[in-house]
Structure 1
Amino acid sequence: MAAPKLLPSQRALFDIPDDVAYLNCAYMSPLSRAAVAAGEAGLRRKAQPWQVLPQDFFTESEAVRALFARLINAGAEDIALIPAASYGMAVAVHALPLRAGQSVLTLAEQFPSNVYPWMEAARAADAAHVSVPRPSDDDWTSAVLARIDSRTAIVALPHCHWTDGGLLDLAAIRAACNAVGAALCVDATQSLGALPFDAAAIDPDFLVAGGYKWLMGPYSYGYLYVAKRWQQAMPLEQNWIARKASENFAGLVDYQGEYQPGARRFDVGERSNFALAPAAKAALQTLLDWGVENIQATLAARNLDIAARAKAELGLDSAPPAKRAGHFLGLRFAAAVPADLPARLAAERVYVSVRGKSMRVTPHVYNTDQDVERFFAVLQAALPRQA
C-alpha cells in the first residue's frame, strides 16, 4: 500500500463562504455540492412519482451498501442501512445474549446512544453495567483491558472518544474479548470516514455509524455492520423490502418466510429514501476517491499544528498525539471551558463545539490555512492566556 499523501484543500467542492472557519465536523459535516445535487435530483423525481420505478427501490440503496462495505473492508451482504446509531445498537441488544451475573462494559462520558441501550439491557437481564472511568494518562485502551474479565459479555465502545478524540486500540480489545468470549460492539460515528477501519481485521460483532459527521452524508441515514455469526438474528422490525423476492411488487401478496440475504434483514423500513440515498452515495464515493488514509494524514497534520500553537500561544492542553485520533482535537482549559466561548467564536463566524470538558476543534479537508489563522485570532481576543 502506498504511503498516505496530504490532500490540498477541497474547499471548492463545498458551499462554505470564505469568511467562515468551520472547524466542527465532529458536530455535523457540510454536504458537498455533489451530495446536495444528488439529493435534489432525488427529490425532484419524487415530485413526479411516475418516474420512480420498482427497481429504484433497490438500485440506489444497494449501491450505497456496496460503497460503505468498501470503506470498511467488508462485503455488501454484511451491511444494513439504518436511520441512526441508536437503531443499530438496538439491533445488537436484540441479538446478543446477556445473562444475570454477566456485565456490559462502556466508557465514562461515552456518547449516550452507545450507553443507554446497554444500561437498559443490563437492567432487564439482572447483569452489571460497568463504566470505565476516564484515565488520568489518556490511555483508554489500558483502562478498558483492565476491566475485561470472565464476567464480561459485551464491550460497547467507540473507536475514539467523542469529547476529545481519545483513541482506543480495537485490535487489542478484540483479542481480550476473544479470550473471555465477549462480543465487541463499536459506535464509529466519530471516526469512520476519517480514521481507517478494517472490519476483517478487527472483527466486531456489530458496528454502527451515523452518516452525517465524518461520512459526510445526510442526517438520519446511517450504517450497520453485522458479523456473519449474527446475521440470522431476528431484526427489530418486519418490513416488506427485507423479505425474499421483494423485488417482485406483484408478488408481495405471496408472503415470504425468508429474508433477503445477509444483513439486509436489519434494514430500516423505507431504506430506499429517494433523496437521502443518492446524497449518501455521492458522499461515500467522494471519501473513497480521497482515500481515508489520506484524509487521516491530512487532518492529523493540521491538528498537530493547531495543538502546538494552542499550547504555545494560549496554554491550552490536549491528549498526546499517540493517544488520540489524528482527525480529532480536544483542547483543555486549566479551569472549565468558558460557557460563552462557542457563541463568542460563532459571532465571528468561527465554529467549534464544547463537549464534556473539552473544546473540540475538528477540521476537515475543506479547511484552509486562513481558517486556522482566523480561529487563533478570534480565540486570542476572546481568552486570556491559560496558566
Structure 2
Amino acid sequence: MKLQHQKQLFTLPENITYLNIASLSPSFKSIEEAGIKAVKEKSTPHLIPSTNFFEPVIELKKLFTKLIHADNYNRIANIPSVSYGLATVANNTQLKEGDEILLVEGQFPSNYYVWDTLAKKYNAVIKIAEQPENKIGKGKLWNETILNSISDKTAVIALGNIHWANGTIFDLKAIRKKATLHNALLIIDGSQSVGALPFSIKEIQPDALICAGYKWLFGPYGCGYAYFGSKFDNGTPIEENWSNRLNSEDFSRLTNYQSQYKPLANRYSVGEHGSFIYVQMQIAAIKQLLQWNPEDIQNYCLSITASSIERLRNAGCFIEENTYRAKHLFGVEIPKSVNLQSLKDKLSKENIFVSFRGNYIRISCHLYNTENEIIKLTDCILSEIS
C-alpha cells in the first residue's frame, strides 16, 4: 500500500519542520487523548478496578508481540529504558576471562557502558568493529568487518539494527548466523528501527531485543519494551516487583508469598509497569503503528527524500548508499568547509529541527513529513556549502 502523509493524525504546528523523531517522537492525537483520559481517571481512584494493574499490560504486550512478529507475549517485559533492559541482560550473562564482547564503533552510550562494566567484572575484552574510512562501499565493508570480528572468543554481540547516528543498516541475518556458529549471544537495540523498519523475531531470533518506547514507537518518555529469548527464561531480575509473581492478581492473598514468577520474561518487568497513564498511551500508539506496514513507512520516507539526497550528494555531502542505509533515519556528512554554527543558526531561524551527531546531521522523518519539508532543509544546507 502506498502511504500518503499522515499529518492529520498529529498536532505539529504548520510552521515547524520536525525531522528529529530519532530523539523524541511527537504524539498522535489518539495518544494525547488516551493520556488525558487516564490522567482524569486518576482523580477518581475508587473507580479504577484492580484488574487495571494487569489486563491493559497484557493487551499492550500482545500488541508489541504482533509488531515484532513474536509468538508469545510472555516473552515481553515492560521496561522504563534501554539501560534497564540491557542491565537485565548483563545481570544474567556470565563470561570467562578473555571472552570478547563485540560492539560497533560509535555505539550509543547506554549500549556501551553496560558492556564495559560487565567486561571489567569478568576481565573480558571489549572489541570494536570500526567504521571503514573508505566512503565507497562503506556499509558493505562495515558489515564485513563485523562478521570478520566474530570468533570462538566472542561471547556477546550487542548492536542496533541500524547505527543510531548515520542509519547504516547492519545485516542481522548474517550476524545471527555467525553468532549461532560461535555460540555467542545476540543482543539487539531496536530503539531506532522497530516500528519504522521491518523486523521479525522469527527471522532474526535475537537472544534479546531492547527498545526505547518514546521514539519510533511513539510512547511517552520513560517507557520501553524488551523481548527475552529462551536463554533468559530462568534468570534473575534486577528488582523484585510484587506483580511479577505468580497469582499476584489475587490481592487478598498477596502476603501468601509466592516463590514462583509469572512465566518467561514477566519476571523482568520494572516495578509499577502497570502505570495507568503510560500503558494507555502506549496501547494507542502501537494500535496506530499496526495499521501501517514498516515497509510502507520506508517507501514513503524514501519517496520524500530521494531527490534531496541526490542534490546533497552532488554538492559533496556523504550519505550512505541506499542499499546499506535506513530510509527513515540517515546521516548527512557535510563538507568541512561548512560553518556549522552558521548552519545551525539558519535552521533555527527556519524552525527546522534535526540532530547533529558526531560528523553527521542526522535526519529522521516519518509520515507527518512532506517532500517540501525535506527540500526546505536541503536548501538551507546547500546555501552554506561554498
The TM-score bracket by the shorter chain reads over 0.9
| Alignment of 1:117 onto 2:117 | no
Q: Which residue of 2 aligns with 1:203?
A: 205
Q: For 1:349, which of 351, 357, 379 is the aligned residue?
A: 351
- Structure 1 gaps of 5+ residues are none
Report the identity percentage. Answer: 34
Q: Which residue of 2 aligns with 1:334?
A: 335
Structure 1 residue 384: Cα displacement: 2.5
User: Against the structure 1 CA distance between its residues 238 and 338, is the aligned structure 2 distance closer, same or farther, given a 3 Å change threshold?
Assistant: farther
Q: SS in structure 1 opposite 2:77?
A: strand
Task: State the alpha-carbon separation in 2 of the partners of residues 88 and 287 from structure 1.
Answer: 22
Structure 1 residue 303: Cα displacement: 3.1
Structure 1 residue 343: Cα displacement: 4.3
Q: What does 1:101-112 align with in structure 2 at a 5 Å threshold?
A: 101-112=98-109
Structure 1 residue 336: Cα displacement: 7.5
Task: State the alpha-carbon separation in 2 of the partners of residues 158 and 290 from structure 1.
Answer: 22
Task: State the alpha-carbon separation in 1 of the partners of residues 338 and 32 from structure 2.
Answer: 35
User: Against the structure 1 CA distance between its residues 87 and 336, is the aligned structure 2 distance closer, same or farther, given a 3 Å change threshold?
Assistant: farther
- Structure 2 gaps of 5+ residues are none
Q: Which residue of 2 aligns with 1:82?
A: 79
Q: What does 1:161-200 align with in structure 2 at a 5 Å threshold?
A: 161-200=163-202
Q: Which residue of 2 aligns with 1:227?
A: 229
Q: Which residue of 1 aligns with 2:155?
A: 153
Structure 1 residue 301: Cα displacement: 2.7
TM-score when normalising by structure 1: 0.95
Task: State the alpha-carbon separation in 2 of the partners of residues 256 and 114 from structure 1.
Answer: 34
Structure 1 residue 97: Cα displacement: 1.9
Q: For 1:286-343, what per-residue CA distance to the aligned partner results, in whole angstroms no more than 9, with x for missing partners?
A: 110012221122123333333112223x432201011111222210112177442334
Q: Is the 8 A contact 1:352 1:360 kept in 2?
A: yes
What letter corresponds to residue 358 of structure 1 in structure 2? Y
User: Against the structure 1 CA distance between its residues 222 and 246, is the aligned structure 2 distance closer, same or farther, given a 3 Å change threshold?
Assistant: same
Task: State the alpha-carbon separation in 2 of the partners of residues 39 and 343 from structure 1.
Answer: 35
What letter corresponds to residue 326 of structure 1 in structure 2? K
Task: State the alpha-carbon separation in 2 of the partners of residues 198 and 338 from structure 1.
Answer: 42
Q: Which residue of 1 aligns with 2:24?
A: 28
Q: For 1:21-59, what per-residue CA distance to the aligned partner results, in whole angstroms no more than 9, with x for missing partners?
A: 111111111011100110111111112211221100012
User: Against the structure 1 CA distance between its residues 243 and 147, is the aligned structure 2 distance closer, same or farther, given a 3 Å change threshold?
Assistant: same
Q: Is the 8 A contact 2:305 2:371 kept in 1?
A: no
What is the aligned length? 379
Task: State the alpha-carbon separation in 1 of the partners of residues 183 and 16 from structure 2.
Answer: 49
Q: SS in structure 2 opposite 1:319?
A: coil
Q: What does 1:1-387 align with in structure 2 at a 5 Å threshold?
A: 5-74=1-70, 75-136=72-133, 137-139=138-140, 140-312=142-314, 314-335=315-336, 338-340=339-341, 341-381=343-383, 383-385=384-386
User: Against the structure 1 CA distance between its residues 150 and 248, is the aligned structure 2 distance closer, same or farther, given a 3 Å change threshold?
Assistant: same
Q: For 1:121-152, what per-residue CA distance to the aligned partner results, in whole angstroms no more than 9, with x for missing partners?
A: 00110000111111232333211011111100
- What is the root-mean-square deviation of aligned Cα atoms in Å? 1.4
User: Against the structure 1 CA distance between its residues 99 and 336, is the aligned structure 2 distance closer, same or farther, given a 3 Å change threshold?
Assistant: farther
Task: State the alpha-carbon separation in 1 of the partners of residues 206 and 150 from structure 2.
Answer: 16
Q: SS in structure 1 opposite 2:361?
A: strand
Structure 1 residue 379: Cα displacement: 3.1
Task: State the alpha-carbon separation in 2 of the partners of residues 47 and 344 from structure 1.
Answer: 45
Q: Is the 8 A contact 1:239 1:269 kept in 2?
A: yes
